[in-house]
Structure 1
Amino acid sequence: MPESPFNLQEKTILITGASSGIGKQIAISIASMGAKVILAARNAEKLTNVKELLDGSGHIVLSLDITDEIAIAAAVDKIPPLDGIVHAAGILKLAPIKILDFDQLKQITETNYLAPVNLTRLLLNKKKIQSAASVVFLTSVNGVYTAVKGFGAYAGSKSALNSISKVMALEYASRKIRFNTIAPGMIKTEMYHEMIKQVSDESVKEDKLKYPLGDYGEPEDVANAAIFLLSAASKWITGTTLVVDGGLTII
């Protein structure tokens, strides 16, 4: 039987935002495909708990705030050569433009856009991202394909990631380093469960009707997309977006 193109054996992959939600599930899923995982997030205890769930050995916990420029610069020197990165760190806050203040805008933009771009830039400049590596940014259908009232700062940060990933794909194509994004619809993460506390059950039920496949997605749905983009199965794909939204954007 030929070797599966989705195999991640012998690959070292950095996951930001790996302590919870989609990032946690991506770490679990890619470890099950043979990858060695570098788990990065602020909470060391949560990262250690995630590490204990991973198949295989050689996984690394990297506790740091990716918005801290000094900490990131120091961490880059300690990170081993990478075959892939998934930037899953991000925050979501409901703030209509009328009440959105600069501090909120700055926090969301720094976490969702500036921090992952800066970390990637430093890793590239230090030659820590190997030729033929794959870099994946988690964006969103919100801001790239749709718009939702109250999420202007979030949508703007995700749209910016979508745009710069295309430029990176062009600039590093000669080294066969691929840059792609995954744009999920609503996914049932801890962030989702906190958010729905602010709205009625009827509103959630009505919103689910917008999804042709009938429900919100699971973290595994995004993790499977990440496996594809990290693996040799997608070796001729760069500068594009894989939409994982249950059909939301086709309506």
Structure 2
Amino acid sequence: MRTVTTRAGVYAVLTDSAAVVPPVPDGDSGGVRWLRAAVARFSNGDAHARRRALVLSELVDIDEKSLCDKAFAWTRRIVADAGPVLDVMTVIARRVPVGVLAEALGLPDVSADIAVVARAYHPHVEPGPAAEAALARLVEVCGGVADEHAAARIGLLIQACDATAGLVASALLSGSIADAEPPVRSTRRVVGGEIVALDLAAAKLTFGAGAKECPGRGHAVALVMGILAALRGFRVVPGEIGYEPSVNIRVPLSLPISRESSVGGLC
């Protein structure tokens, strides 16, 4: 499989209307394989356009400043009850973005179930009973019907889980969101019948490009900015960092931070 690493090369493939994502097989209604086959991320053509429009319709009325403020408030409440050292991945990065976005969508805090399904979301992962059970609960919360509308909401929250958590970690490690490395390291496209790997990290295309560019870019940045503002006065504890065993996303297993002062600012 050929790998494209240059920014120009990756951008060219992402914006090529003839380049498509590798298809995923259909699955039983309501299962993880059904979710993959029903979301915009793994779709092409008219199905992708229709499903992306559903995602955009969910985001259009969500104010980014409000997301930032709520992420700040959620994070400040968490750190107020924490000890001198806390694992930002466990208690903040995977929880706050999903919880805040779920609330904005009129849903309860489903961050625990979203985290379970996110680990089985990609086609190379075999979904287990825990992921199937968590997805069934999510479908119920999203209206009780395994349709494209429910899939759009669940897929949106999954994106807010792993990718946003990775962006939080990268921003903390680099010192700013502007210097953060893309948490989604790679993606694939079928070009002329050949599967091509695209190195998003090397190309520094954090949110992709073209028809599949992240539809919630501004919302994700707002969530991360709120969290980072609430964590001013904290520093990453030095030490070796282990990462999730994923082929396409870079998310620390844990990232301890310690309190240096009580300084914090609003978005």
Q: Same fold (TM over 0.5)?
A: no
Q: Which of the five TM-score ranges fits, normalised by the shorter chain?
A: under 0.3
Where relative contact order (Cα < 8 A, 6+ residues apart) is larger, the structure is 2
TM-score scaled by structure 1?
0.26
Which one has the bigger strand percentage?
1
